Amino acid sequence: MMTDGQFDVDIAHELLGLIAWRKEKAEKHPEDVRNHKAVSIAERLLAEYKIGAKPDQLKKLNELGQQYKALYAEMWDRDASRLLPDPLEEEISRYWRGIGFYSEPANIGEVCESLCELYAEGIQNLKELKSK
């Protein structure tokens, strides 16, 4: 999310969206317990986040996000056709959708660390693309 020129990962927003989406999926597919599991994990993470368990990694995550967005904007100005769609957007979406299915983060710190890894990889990929 971009606000006033700053990048800010809105973890609460992402978790609320995940909870709503997985609840909808659970209603459509009640036999698939993974949706219920994902809701439970996301609700626990959201509760932790809301009570102030905001890890130091959040600062790092936002810094990496700012770097990625700045590099992406620079690349966009140079050659937009190579960046459609945003190459990292799907990876981040896949990460959120995978909670309860492919991953079970124990706490918000693990969520931030996973997202930091994705942004760091995205920055490296853009740098490689830029050099071509």
Statement: residue 132 has pLDDT above 80: no
The answer, yes or no, to whether residue 49 has pLDDT greater than 60, is yes
Contact 54, 8 (CB under 8 A): no
Residue 130 has pLDDT above 90, yes or no: no
What confidence tens digit (pLDDT) does each residue in 60-104 have? 999 999 999 888 888 776 666 666 678 798 999 999 999 999 999
pLDDT for residue 1:
41
Tokens of 24: 């909808």
| Residue 104, CA atoms < 13 Å, CB-side half-sphere | 7
DSSP helix/strand/coil, 2: strand
pLDDT value, residue 6? 53
What per-residue confidence (pLDDT) applies to 123?
A: 95
The sign of the CA dihedral 46, 47, 48, 53 is positive
Residue located via tokens 């930091």:
116
State which amino acid sits at residue 97: R
Kindly report whether the global pTM for this prediction surpasses the value 0.75. Answer: yes
Structure confidence by residue, pLDDT tens digits, 3-37 = 444 566 789 999 999 999 999 999 999 999 999 99
Burial of 13 (0-12, 13-18, 19+ CB in 10 A): exposed
Cα 29 to Cα 33, 56, 66, 97, 123: the distances in Å are 9, 37, 38, 16, 37
Structure tokens at 37: 């599991």
